[in-house]
């Protein structure tokens, strides 16, 4: 087993299967999305950090969310951009880099345990049948039995899915009950507007994340899985600063104030 564990120190990543004609448009679209993610989320973090009036639990939560979005996008997108413009036969990554990417892609304690279970396996393959490294990609490199990994992975997915959907459903049920009892149409309208935008992002994350996990076990749907993973890592980080930044009154006022200053300077 020890002789096989590091048999392949360099791996080949499958990447996205895009045609030569569509590779440049896809690259530009992802690049623009990544630039927007970095500017909007980093700007929001800086603004919350520098503005003392925003040093409150809610805005600290926003700051944590934007930090996670920046980290997740940085781990995922730059590597994907490079691979899009690289010949499929030259999309190499070291095993250590693959493990690091998988760890920071998940960045959860329970998923870290999953990755540890994958690292205990020897690996006899050198091909990552995915467009980035994640836990499933790691244990698929092994020729050993991955029953434990699959059972743990499916259990974790079910528990995470059930707890997430359950907590969100209870939260929105309570909000709906409050709105139903309230006679203030303005407040109810704002609540519905805010909740609908939040719920949209949540559904995108939930569906794309679940599809990416489940379809790892069905190779025939590989391209659908890849698209779902791209949506999971790109769409929420793009929408979150818009939703939370513009709907939070203090942040929105600060943004408009800065914009007015720039216009007056010009």
CA-CA distances (angstroms) from residue 128 to 34, 93, 206, 240?
A: 24, 9, 24, 31
Q: What is the pLDDT of residue 3?
A: 42
**What domain range includes position 22?**
2-265
**C-alpha to C-alpha distance for 165 and 198, rounded to whole angstroms:** 14
Q: How far apart are the first and last CA of the chain?
A: 67
Domains identified in the chain, total number: 1
R_g of the chain, CA atoms, integer Å? 21
Task: Say what the pTM is.
Answer: 0.79
Take residue 47 and report the two structure tokens written for it.
């603004």
Sheet order of strands, 10-13 included: 92-94, 10-13, 127-128
Strands 10-13 and 92-94: antiparallel
**C-alpha to C-alpha distance for 64 and 53, rounded to whole angstroms:** 17
Q: What is the pLDDT along the chain (266 residues), one digit of tens a residue?
A: 344 444 568 899 998 888 888 899 999 999 999 999 999 899 888 888 887 777 777 777 788 888 888 988 998 999 999 999 999 999 999 998 998 888 887 765 456 677 777 888 888 888 998 888 888 888 888 888 888 887 877 787 788 788 888 888 888 888 888 777 777 777 677 677 767 777 888 888 888 888 877 787 787 888 888 888 898 889 889 988 888 776 666 666 666 666 566 556 55
Q: What is the pLDDT of residue 34?
A: 96
Residues in the chain: 266
Sort 264 into a burial class: Cβ within 10 Å, 0-12 / 13-18 / 19+: exposed
Take residue 78 and report the two structure tokens written for it.
């730059």
Phi-psi label, residue 108: left if phi above 0, alpha if psi -120 to 50, beta otherwise: beta
Q: What is the pLDDT of residue 262?
A: 55
Q: What is the pLDDT of residue 82?
A: 93
CA-CA distances (angstroms) from residue 99 to 10, 111, 161, 197?
A: 12, 12, 24, 34
Q: What is the pLDDT of residue 155?
A: 82
Q: What is the pLDDT of residue 26?
A: 93
Sort 225 into a burial class: Cβ within 10 Å, 0-12 / 13-18 / 19+: buried
| Phi and psi at residue 94, to the nearest 5° | -75, 160
167: three-class secondary structure by DSSP? helix
Nearest Cα residue to 91 out of 31, 39, 154, 17: 17
CATH of the domain at 251: 1.20.1070.10
């Amino acid at each position: 087993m020890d002789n096989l564990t590091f048999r392949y120190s360099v791996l080949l990543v499958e990447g996205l299967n895009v045609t030569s004609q569509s590779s440049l448009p896809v690259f530009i679209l992802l690049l623009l999305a990544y630039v927007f993610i970095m500017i909007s989320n980093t700007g929001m973090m800086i603004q919350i950090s520098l503005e003392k009036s925003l040093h409150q639990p809610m805005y600290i939560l926003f700051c944590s969310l934007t930090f996670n979005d920046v980290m997740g996008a940085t781990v995922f997108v730059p590597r994907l951009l490079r691979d899009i413009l690289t010949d499929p036969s030259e999309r190499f990554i070291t095993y250590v880099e693959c493990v690091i990417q998988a760890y920071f892609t998940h960045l959860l304690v329970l998923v870290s345990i999953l990755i540890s279970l994958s690292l205990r396996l020897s690996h006899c393959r050198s091909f990552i049948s995915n467009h980035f490294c994640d836990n499933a990609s790691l244990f698929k490199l092994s020729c050993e039995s991955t029953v434990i990994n699959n059972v743990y992975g499916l259990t974790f997915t079910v528990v995470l899915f059930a707890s997430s959907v359950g907590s969100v459903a209870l939260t929105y049920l309570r909000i709906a009950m409050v709105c139903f009892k309230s006679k203030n149409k303005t407040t109810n309208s704002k609540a519905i507007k805010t909740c609908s935008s939040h719920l949209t992002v949540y559904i995108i994350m939930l569906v794309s994340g679940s599809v990416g996990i489940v379809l790892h076990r069905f190779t025939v749907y590989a391209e659908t899985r890849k698209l779902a993973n791209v949506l999971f890592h790109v769409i929420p980080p793009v929408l979150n600063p818009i939703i939370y930044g513009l709907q939070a009154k203090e942040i929105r006022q600060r943004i408009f104030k800065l914009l007015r200053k720039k216009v007056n300077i010009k």
